[in-house]
């Protein structure tokens, strides 16, 4: 039986979230793990296309109304591959998805599952898809579900490259440092709604534009310095900038008691730097460790501070086949 399996990475915003909504740059990197996986399998020629979400025990068949919210992006992807000039047949294949990336925690789970799905479908039918084209298709799916995302998730996840991202632009790829980088991710277990947090920040800014624009500009400066430190593998400097960025995110009002506890625990346990990552108010945080031994200690400290999913990970090094 013919099958095609494809993976997609999670992403981490290293510096610059929220300020990126106001035109400042942000750095995001693809992570080795957690990740999402999609498998396309041949079925009987008469069977309409189906989607299975392994993590939710959900199944949808084309022609049915997509009831569950979790199915919507895949129903959209399947339709776009078949209808309106899509090149794939409407029968004889099924798409199965599974993912280790917690939903609503700032690690790009939505863009990752869409990327894996589109890659697997294209590979199954023998169609090439360039990373930029893939990124645009993933953005369409994201936009349908989440309003107007900045585009950072699809750019990083579909291209599998660290990027210095600016809203409305393609983004400048940053070569990752040669030395291994140890990120320890902690998760509060609280899903956040990016749109709601971004809206609250917009309201607070409307009431006090001077203060907020000053904070965004300071975050922008930190991010620019951070891009140079990242490229050079200057991890002590990068960690210091992460700490500074976190303090500014706290001033924006997007931290939470859970995130503060974890960031402080990581700093006390020997992190080079630590910050919340993504929209905040829950979701996840990241600590930078100087080596694997300290990373282990940070994991322990984060678990004690309440992290419900703790993982030491690094940057996904891009496969040659993904170039383009």
Query: Which residues touch 312 (CB under 8 Å, ≥6 apart)?
Result: 182, 183, 184, 185, 289, 292, 295, 296, 298, 299
Q: What binding mask, one character per residue, do residues 91-130 give for ligand PMV by CB under 6 A, x or -?
A: ---------------x-x----------------------
- Return the number of the residue (13 or 163) whose C-beta is nearest ligand PMV: 13
Look up residue 179 and give its two tokens.
Answer: 């030395």
Query: Which residues touch 134 (CB under 8 Å, ≥6 apart)?
Result: 115, 118, 119, 158
Residue with tokens 């990552």: 277
- Return the number of the residue (4 or 116) whose C-beta is nearest ligand PMV: 116
Task: Please check whether residue 95 is in contact with residue 120, taking contact to mean a CB–CB distance below 8 angstroms.
Answer: yes
Which H or E run includes 233? none
Is 213 annotated as catalytic? no
Q: What is the dihedral of CA 60, 61, 67, 70, to 10 degrees?
A: 30
Decide if residue 185 touches ligand PMV (CB under 6 A): no
Decide if residue 154 touches ligand PMV (CB under 6 A): no
Decide if residue 34 touches ligand PMV (CB under 6 A): no
Task: Please check whether residue 188 is in contact with residue 263, taking contact to mean a CB–CB distance below 8 angstroms.
Answer: no
CB of 48 to ligand PMV, least distance (A): 33
Which H or E run includes 30? strand 26-42
Residue with tokens 């997609």: 8
Decide if residue 135 touches ligand PMV (CB under 6 A): no
Query: Which residues touch 181 (CB under 8 Å, ≥6 apart)?
Result: 233, 235, 288, 314, 315
DSSP lists the bridge partners of residue 172 as 164
Interface residues for ligand PMV in 238-277 (CB under 6 A)? none
Closest-approach residue to ligand PMV (CB): 278
Decide if residue 152 touches ligand PMV (CB under 6 A): yes
Look up residue 8 and give its two tokens.
Answer: 């997609």
Catalytic residue among 55, 84, 100, 153: 153
Decide if residue 73 touches ligand PMV (CB under 6 A): no
- Return the number of the residue (15 or 51) whose C-beta is nearest ligand PMV: 15
Q: Tell which one of 25, 149, 239, 282 touches ligand PMV (CB under 6 A).
A: 149
- Return the number of the residue (22 or 125) whose C-beta is nearest ligand PMV: 22
Q: Calculate ∠ Cα 260-264-267, nearest 5°.
A: 145
CB of 82 to ligand PMV, least distance (A): 29
CA dist., res. 322 & res. 274, Å (int): 31
Decide if residue 21 touches ligand PMV (CB under 6 A): yes
Look up residue 250 and give its two tokens.
Answer: 């706290």
Instruction: Compute the radius of gyration of the chain from its Cα atoms.
Output: 20
CB of 15 to ligand PMV, least distance (A): 11
Decide if residue 12 touches ligand PMV (CB under 6 A): no
Q: Tell which one of 194, 223, 255, 310 touches ligand PMV (CB under 6 A).
A: 194
Look up residue 69 and give its two tokens.
Answer: 């919210």
CB of 293 to ligand PMV, least distance (A): 29
Q: What binding mask, one character per residue, do residues 197-226 give for ligand PMV by CB under 6 A, x or -?
A: -x----------------------------
Active-site residue numbers?
153
Question: Footprint of ligand PMV on this chain (CB under 6 A)?
Answer: 13, 17-18, 20-21, 106, 108, 149-150, 152, 194, 198, 278-279, 283
């Amino acid at each position: 039986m013919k099958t095609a399996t494809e993976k997609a990475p999670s992403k981490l915003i290293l510096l610059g979230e929220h300020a990126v909504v106001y035109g400042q740059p942000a750095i995001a990197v693809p992570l080795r793990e957690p990740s999402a996986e999609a498998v396309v399998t041949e079925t009987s020629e008469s069977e309409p296309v189906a989607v299975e979400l392994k993590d939710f025990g959900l199944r949808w068949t084309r022609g049915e109304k997509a009831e569950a919210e979790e199915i919507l992006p895949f129903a959209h992807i399947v339709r776009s591959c078949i209808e309106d000039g899509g090149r794939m047949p409407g029968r004889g294949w099924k798409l199965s998805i599974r993912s280790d990336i917690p939903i609503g925690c700032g690690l790009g789970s939505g863009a990752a599952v869409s990327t894996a799905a589109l890659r697997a479908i294209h590979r199954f039918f023998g169609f090439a898809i360039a990373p930029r084209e893939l990124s645009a298709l993933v953005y369409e799916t994201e936009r349908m579900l989440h309003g107007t995302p900045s585009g950072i998730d699809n750019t990083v996840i579909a291209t599998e490259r660290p990027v210095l991202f600016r809203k409305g632009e393609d983004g400048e790829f940053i070569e990752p440092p040669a030395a291994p980088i140890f990120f320890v991710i902690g998760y509060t277990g609280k899903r956040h709604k990016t749109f709601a947090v971004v809206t609250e920040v917009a309201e607070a800014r409307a009431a006090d534009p001077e203060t907020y624009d000053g904070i965004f500009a300071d975050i922008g400066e930190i991010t620019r310095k951070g891009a140079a430190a990242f490229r050079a593998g200057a991890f002590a400097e990068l960690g210091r900038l992460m700490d500074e960025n976190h303090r500014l995110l706290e001033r924006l009002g997007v931290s939470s008691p859970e995130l503060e506890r974890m960031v402080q625990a990581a700093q006390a346990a020997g992190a080079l730097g630590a910050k919340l990552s993504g929209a905040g108010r829950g979701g996840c945080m990241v600590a930078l460790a100087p080596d694997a031994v300290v990373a282990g200690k940070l994991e322990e400290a984060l678990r004690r501070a309440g992290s419900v999913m703790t993982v030491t990970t690094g940057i996904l090094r891009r496969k040659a086949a993904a170039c383009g």
